[in-house]
């Protein structure tokens, strides 16, 4: 198991994990380490290259994170990004200063011109957009380096010392706004560091399993399984690592979509783990009886979830580790913005306090969503689980406007299934990010056969979005909408009208409650 390693040395930049992800995408193994890591420990990893990340400080501020000068004597290629580029310059004899009068200070997409003789920029067009975000600039280029990129505002956008394998770029190649960012990172890995590539998610799995075994030893692990992608993949990974030392508690609140509870159970029944499914549908339904206010519904479900889980955990007794399927976007979001509030509220965020355990393990903490899905496939989880679209913790309760009853849930489940089925048949699943049915609380008059009906209206919601903070409604072809409508009113009793939601977010939200 000798894979080549690249170290991403973290100087506090906001994109450090994104850089790691870009390296992994190129088939190279990568570890993110804080800049305070002793050089001897970094050396022990035998890196083929080191990437210095950006950071919020100014390199000339004595309090700002500094690079150990020993790093430059390892004989290992270094790529400095933004702050990392300035560190490189300052350490090797250049000078960094505040950009004056906006002359060389840049923020946002910037047309940049490259010297394509430089190994880092090989194969790139002479000019393309890069993403800049810096208030300091390299006033003096260090000796032995040459300038290899410029923009209109700044002559010193990139530097290189090809003999020593030192490269610095002021812009961020890791973000999508930099048009040829992936090619630049690829060039660093393959042209400069001599990477062989070939590292895959299967290798990631092996490393993760080995590390989990080392950490957990013969300890007991408890995991709250929601049936969502993240907790399912975390469970499958832990199952592979520690088998029956793991207990998964799946609280089935009865608010899942058609057959979903059984599917989750089936995905874990063949594995050598302790799997407990708590069928708590009636308990949730009775607590929700008569409740119509959306926030109250959410709160009741969140609290009840913890109570049910707590009761199961008590039966198990003390555990050593509580496992969670936290993924990297959750880590970034926590503490800021709407998403954090949503997550802390419903993704079993209140759990740690109610279980007696020693430590939390979060084996997916450094992965992005699509990497988690890829890992799930490696672990043999079924595709329907791995490619599952986001599903809110409170489940169908917040897609059933007004009071939640067993009958309404049943109607909604069947209608939602038809909608998803028709989307799949039309081959449209990949073109939208979330799609589902909502049972409105509106009833209206219709005619069926010779009789008058007075039944529910179903709303179909489908959106495209990249971050779920804003979203556009999906342009589903009329023929597909027509098939869904015909099937729903024919196959689901007490729905006599189907509406398609054409509101974007904002002003509407994706969910209805």
Q: Footprint of ligand XMP on this chain (CB under 6 A)?
A: 342, 345-347, 390, 392-394, 434, 468, 505, 509-511
Of 142 and 392, which CB lies nearer to ligand XMP in the complex structure? 392
| Residue 127 Cβ vs ligand XMP, minimum distance, rounded to whole Å | 38
- 30 — phi, psi (to 5°)? -150, 145
Is residue 266 classed as helix, strand or coil in its secondary structure?
A: helix
Single out the residue of 169, 201, 200 nearest to residue 185, CA to CA: 169
Catalytic residue positions? 82, 172, 174
Torsion, Cα of 489, 493, 497, 501 (10° steps): -90
| Residue 441 Cβ vs ligand XMP, minimum distance, rounded to whole Å | 17
| Residue 463 Cβ vs ligand XMP, minimum distance, rounded to whole Å | 8
| Residue 237 Cβ vs ligand XMP, minimum distance, rounded to whole Å | 20
Helix, strand, coil percentages in the chain from 3-state DSSP, rounded to 5: 40, 25, 40
| Residue 505 Cβ vs ligand XMP, minimum distance, rounded to whole Å | 5
| Residue 376 Cβ vs ligand XMP, minimum distance, rounded to whole Å | 18
Q: In DSSP terms, which residues pair with 445 in a beta bridge?
A: 454
Single out the residue of 444, 465, 457 nearest to residue 508, CA to CA: 465
Q: In DSSP terms, which residues pair with 112 in a beta bridge?
A: 128, 151
Single out the residue of 82, 73, 77, 91 nearest to residue 19, CA to CA: 82
Of 97 and 300, which CB lies nearer to ligand XMP in the complex structure? 300
| Residue 288 Cβ vs ligand XMP, minimum distance, rounded to whole Å | 15
The H or E element containing residue 50 is: strand 47-52
Of 151 and 434, which CB lies nearer to ligand XMP in the complex structure? 434
Who contacts 506 (Cβ-Cβ below 8 Å, separation ≥6)? 470
Of 173 and 325, which CB lies nearer to ligand XMP in the complex structure? 325
| Residue 471 Cβ vs ligand XMP, minimum distance, rounded to whole Å | 7
- Using the structure block, give the residue that is written with the tokens 């390199």: 59
Tokens of 450: 């010779």
| Sign of the alpha-carbon dihedral angle for 385, 390, 394, 395 | negative
Single out the residue of 158, 398, 148, 96 nearest to residue 255, CA to CA: 398
| Residue 506 preceded by cis peptide, ω within 30 | yes
Of 27 and 294, which CB lies nearer to ligand XMP in the complex structure? 294
Of 147 and 339, which CB lies nearer to ligand XMP in the complex structure? 339
Torsion, Cα of 342, 346, 350, 352 (10° steps): -110
Of 49 and 227, which CB lies nearer to ligand XMP in the complex structure? 227
Q: Checking phi first, is residue 259 left (phi over 0); if not, alpha (psi -120 to 50) or beta?
A: left
- 471 — phi, psi (to 5°)? -155, 155
Of 265 and 511, which CB lies nearer to ligand XMP in the complex structure? 511
Give the Cα separation of 93 and 74 in Å (integer). 18
Give the Cα separation of 243 and 238 in Å (integer). 7
Q: In DSSP terms, which residues pair with 221 in a beta bridge?
A: 246, 321
Give the Cα separation of 23 and 3 in Å (integer). 13
């Amino acid at each position: 198991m000798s894979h080549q390693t690249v170290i991403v040395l973290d100087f506090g930049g906001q994109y450090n994990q994104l850089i790691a992800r870009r390296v992994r995408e190129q088939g190279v193994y990568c570890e993110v380490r804080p800049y305070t890591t002793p050089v001897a420990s970094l050396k022990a990893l035998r890196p083929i290259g080191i990437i210095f990340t950006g950071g919020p400080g100014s390199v000339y501020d004595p309090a700002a994170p500094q690079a150990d000068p020993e790093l430059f004597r390892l004989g290992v290629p270094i790529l400095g990004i933004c702050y990392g580029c300035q560190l490189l310059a300052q350490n090797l004899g250049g000078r960094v200063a505040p950009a004056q009068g906006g002359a060389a200070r840049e923020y946002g997409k910037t047309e940049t011109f490259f010297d394509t003789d430089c190994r880092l920029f090989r194969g790139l067009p002479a000019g393309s957009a890069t993403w800049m975000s810096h208030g300091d600039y390299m006033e003096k280029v260090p000796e032995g380096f040459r300038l290899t990129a410029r923009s209109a505002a700044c002559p010193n956008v990139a530097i290189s010392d090809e003999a020593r394998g030192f490269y610095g770029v002021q812009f961020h190649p890791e973000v999508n706004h930099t048009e040829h960012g992936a090619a630049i990172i690829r060039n660093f890995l393959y042209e400069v560091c001599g990477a062989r590539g070939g590292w895959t998610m299967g290798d990631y799995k092996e490393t993760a399993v080995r590390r989990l075994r080392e950490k957990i030893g013969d300890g007991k692990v408890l995991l709250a399984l929601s049936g969502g992608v993240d907790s399912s993949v975390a469970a499958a990974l832990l199952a592979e690592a520690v088998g029956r030392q793991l207990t998964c508690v799946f609280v089935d609140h009865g608010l899942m979509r058609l057959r979903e509870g059984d599917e989750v159970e089936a995905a874990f029944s063949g594995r050598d783990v302790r799997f407990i499914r708590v069928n708590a549908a009636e308990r949730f339904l009775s607590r929700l009886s008569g409740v119509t206010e959306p926030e109250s519904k959410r709160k009741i479900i969140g609290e009840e979830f913890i109570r049910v889980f707590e009761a199961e955990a008590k039966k198990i007794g003390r555990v050593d580790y509580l496992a969670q399927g936290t993924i990297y976007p959750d880590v970034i979001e926590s503490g800021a913005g709407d998403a954090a509030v949503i997550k802390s509220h419903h993704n079993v965020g209140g759990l740690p306090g109610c279980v007696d355990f020693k430590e939390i393990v979060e084996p997916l903490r450094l992965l992005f969503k699509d990497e988690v899905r890829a890992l799930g496939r490696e672990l043999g989880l079924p595709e329907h689980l791995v490619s599952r679209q986001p599903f809110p913790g409170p489940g169908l309760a917040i897609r059933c406007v007004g009071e939640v009853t067993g009958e309404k849930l049943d109607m909604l489940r069947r209608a939602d299934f038809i909608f998803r089925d028709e989307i799949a048949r039309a081959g449209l699943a990949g073109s939208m990010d979330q799609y589902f049915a909502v049972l409105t609380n509106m009833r209206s008059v219709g005619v069926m056969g010779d009789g008058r009906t007075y039944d529910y209206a179903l709303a179909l919601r489908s959106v495209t979005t990249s971050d779920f903070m804003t979203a556009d409604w999906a342009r589903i072809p009329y023929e597909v909408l027509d098939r869904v409508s015909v099937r729903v009113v024919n196959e689901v009793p007490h729905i006599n009208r189907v509406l398609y939601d054409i509101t974007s977010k904002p002003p509407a939200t994706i969910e209805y409650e």
